[in-house]
Structure 1
Amino acid sequence: MVTVFAITYAVFAPFFGWLSDKKGRGFLITCGLLLFVVSNVLTGLAPSFFWLIISRVMAGLSVASITPLIYAIIGDIAPPNRRGVWLSIVVSGHLMALWAGAPLGTLLEQFVGWRSVFFVMAAIGAILAVVNFQTWRTIPKKHTNRNLIQGNILRILGSVSVTTIWAISMYALYVYLGAALYSENKFSSSEIALAVTFYGVGAVLGSLTSGQLTNKLGESIISKVALLMLTINLVAIGILFSSGDWVYFFLFMWALVGYAGFTSYQAQLASEYPDERGIVMAWNNTALYIGITLGSMIGGYVITNWGYSTLPFACAGLAAISLLLSTQKVKEIKKEFV
């Protein structure tokens, strides 16, 4: 169920991004929320696993037309000198939802059953559909027949490849963090939960603070400095992973600089691609999902062959590659497209 959802999202997000650049984003976001309602009602009523799969495909389609377009429409309407802050708020909200959603759903399921959880989500989706329709209906729609990606596809793919490598460097370690803390540090369940909490707080703070720094110093500078600090911090984690309570601090800093870089890079993409913002944000979200998937695979391979202690150093190398790609991308744009 999770796989078909993720694949559907990754495949169709670029299409909805392209369509939103041509026809407007608000209407597509509202339609996506209505489809979200239908898909969750279908999941709650599903009489068989086949219908569960169909409902998750529909859910993947709905989210593909919501999440990247929210990033894009915020990039459209935010004042240029406040774009970083506005996007950082959206990213931090997204992050908190990712962490809070699963435990809240699990808790709710204990009281009302798993089917009712999806009916609750459908009801929330219906409310959000009304709110978003009212919010975005005054945003002017775009109508253009111009091929927005003609001559830009390699540039776009090069830009979002930075996000893919960044996601691998973050999630190759994060996916196995609990197992690594148990294996290397003999952490208890409560200590692992505390470590993940430090990581989560760092991620939210990193996302929020990067918006202010981005507006003051520029998106490109903050994203590159954050990637450099991410590389250094992952090396430090590799060296000091078994140093006891210090690991909490390094996990906090890892998430802080990691998500500061992600948020500032989102703002950088929104600034660099004003006419293709929907396409680029959609491709960037697809790149993120690809990176998360590859990260879990690469992390498992490294652990199997070289053990947990090697993984932070491998992730540091990937973060350095992401930094190199971001620098090279700017040079290529100036040389070939300006």
Structure 2
Amino acid sequence: MTTNDGNSPAGYLDRWRLLNAWVTMYVVGADLFIMSPLLPSMANALHVNVDSAGWLVSGFSIAYAVASPLMGRISDRYGRRRTICWGLLAFAAANLGTVCASSFTLALLSRIFAGISVSAISPSIYAAVGDAAPEGRRAHWISIAVSGLLTALWTSAPLGALLAHVMPWRAVFILLSAAAFVLAWPNLRLWPSSKSAGGRASRMRVPLRAAVSAVSPMVAWGAALYGLYTYLGTGLTLNTSLSASAVSLCFIGWGVGAILGNHLGGWGADKIGIHFTAIASLCGMALAMWLLGLGLSGAMGGGVLAATLCLLALVSYPFQPAQQTRLVQWGQSTKASLLAWNSSALYLGMTIGSAFDGYVMKHWSFNALPYAGMAIAAAGAALSLIAQSAFRSDAAVSAA
């Protein structure tokens, strides 16, 4: 068990572990989110249109979602440190494959391999953070790791746009490959060996029914939040009178709210309770979606809309660290498997949300999207209550 004394050797180790987790999650997140501004250049170099180049993103995401449960199982069986290290080395190799790709097919294969590699890294990082966290601060620690990914979400696209003007797109992937290769060493050194946990996990399994119940709220959360986010830029540009600077302000508001909400969720889960924080966040999301819908119908100004989006993110993102923390608590020695299922559930939710909100936009309007999100978030709160009830007993994760 680590200590909370920041001046002790354990305290210094804690800070290095958290910094390492944050940077690692930022790098793997940047690899996905930086793609959008690079796609036109990549499409031109690989002799395909931009729509086809979009499969470079989709291939990564699908591979991540499909491979995550298997990689979580490997992490539980063979240890977090080993899985993270090999995942980072494979991730570095995958990005070098993208650099060297001479055709669209080879580039797509490299992105699929990158997605599989990241599916080994992310759940293992969260599980390692949960393993190492001091008593009563587990959710706060996980929220710090998550904030690396969230920072990548709203900084990588503008960073990618800048880099696209100052260097070839292949150089961007060289930088990402180098960063992953360098990060393998601190991840190997900082995380403890988990041979005993891995031996126990090899005899444990997560029942499919329990896993589905546990991660079902994440499907709803991802569908409600990222379904709206997918069409936010297009909707604000085409369906409002906002200027380009006002639209940018809206995204900044969302990003600030996401970071603050994530840390608020870590604090709330530790101090108030993981179940209360998760359900309160989903209910708050539903209410904020309703307010956003009213505001869009009333043609609110850019500043008020940015504040409303900041509020939406602020009340929505506490769910993520609370959900991950209760999976760590429920999972015992199979926490990486549950966290991996949770990652797959998030990508499934994003896919469902994008498809559903696209249908809503086509048949109604952009202004209807917050109301669709409100309904999905309310369903997520109900699923969260069901999941909590299903996991009251330690029998949720049983011996094989």
TM-score range, shorter chain: over 0.9
Gaps of 5+ in 2: 1-55
Q: Distance in 2 between matches of 1:162 and 1:251?
A: 22
Shift of 1:224: 1.0
Report if the CA contact (8 A) 1:17-1:279 is conserved.
yes
Question: % of aligned pairs identical?
Answer: 35
Q: Does 1:322 align with 2:380?
A: yes
Report if the CA contact (8 A) 2:213-2:390 is conserved.
no
Q: Which moved more, 1:137-146 or 1:304-313?
A: 137-146
Residue number among 1, 5, 13 corresponding to 2:68 in the alignment: 13
Report if the CA contact (8 A) 2:84-2:187 is conserved.
yes
Q: Residue in 1 aligned with 2:199?
A: 143
SS in 2 for 1:81: coil
CA shift digits 1:56-99 (9 cap, x unpaired)? 12111110110111111111111230101100101111100122
Q: Distance in 1 between matches of 2:390 and 2:101?
A: 50
Q: How many positions carry a matched residue from both structures?
A: 336
Q: Which moved more, 1:73-82 or 1:201-210?
A: 73-82
Q: Residue in 1 aligned with 2:350?
A: 292
CA shift digits 1:133-188 (9 cap, x unpaired)? 11125454521341422xx3211111101100111010121111122223343111
Q: Distance in 2 between matches of 1:58 and 1:264?
A: 30
Equivalent residues in 2 for 1:178-257, closer than 5 Å: 178-241=233-296, 242-244=299-301, 245-257=303-315
Q: Distance in 2 between matches of 1:108 and 1:333?
A: 46
Report if the CA contact (8 A) 1:22-1:143 is conserved.
yes
Gaps of 5+ in 1: none
Residue number among 364, 367, 380 corresponding to 1:309 in the alignment: 367
CA shift digits 1:109-128 (9 cap, x unpaired)? 32220111111111111110
Residue number among 116, 121, 124 corresponding to 1:66 in the alignment: 121
Shift of 1:247: 1.4
The alpha-carbon distance between structure 1 residues 335 and 23, as it changes in their structure 2 partners (threshold 3 A), is closer
Report if the CA contact (8 A) 1:148-1:275 is conserved.
no
> RMSD between aligned alpha carbons?
1.6
What residue identity is the alignment partner of 1:74? V
Shift of 1:335: 7.8
Q: Which has the higher contact order (CA 8 A, sep 6+)?
A: 1
What residue identity is the alignment partner of 1:322? G
Q: Residue in 1 aligned with 2:82?
A: 27
Q: Residue in 2 aligned with 1:92?
A: 147
Q: Distance in 2 between matches of 1:124 and 1:192?
A: 32
Q: Distance in 1 between matches of 2:295 and 2:278?
A: 25
Q: Distance in 2 between matches of 1:327 and 1:179?
A: 34
Q: Distance in 1 between matches of 2:99 and 2:232?
A: 33
Q: Distance in 1 between matches of 2:160 and 2:183?
A: 18
Q: Does 1:279 align with 2:337?
A: yes
Q: Distance in 2 between matches of 1:54 and 1:137?
A: 33
What residue identity is the alignment partner of 1:178? G
Shift of 1:318: 0.4
Q: Distance in 2 between matches of 1:31 and 1:335?
A: 34
Report if the CA contact (8 A) 1:27-1:137 is conserved.
no
Q: Which moved more, 1:213-222 or 1:237-246?
A: 237-246
What residue identity is the alignment partner of 1:60? G
TM-score, normalization: structure 2? 0.81
What residue identity is the alignment partner of 2:242? F
Shift of 1:336: 10
TM-score, normalization: structure 1? 0.95
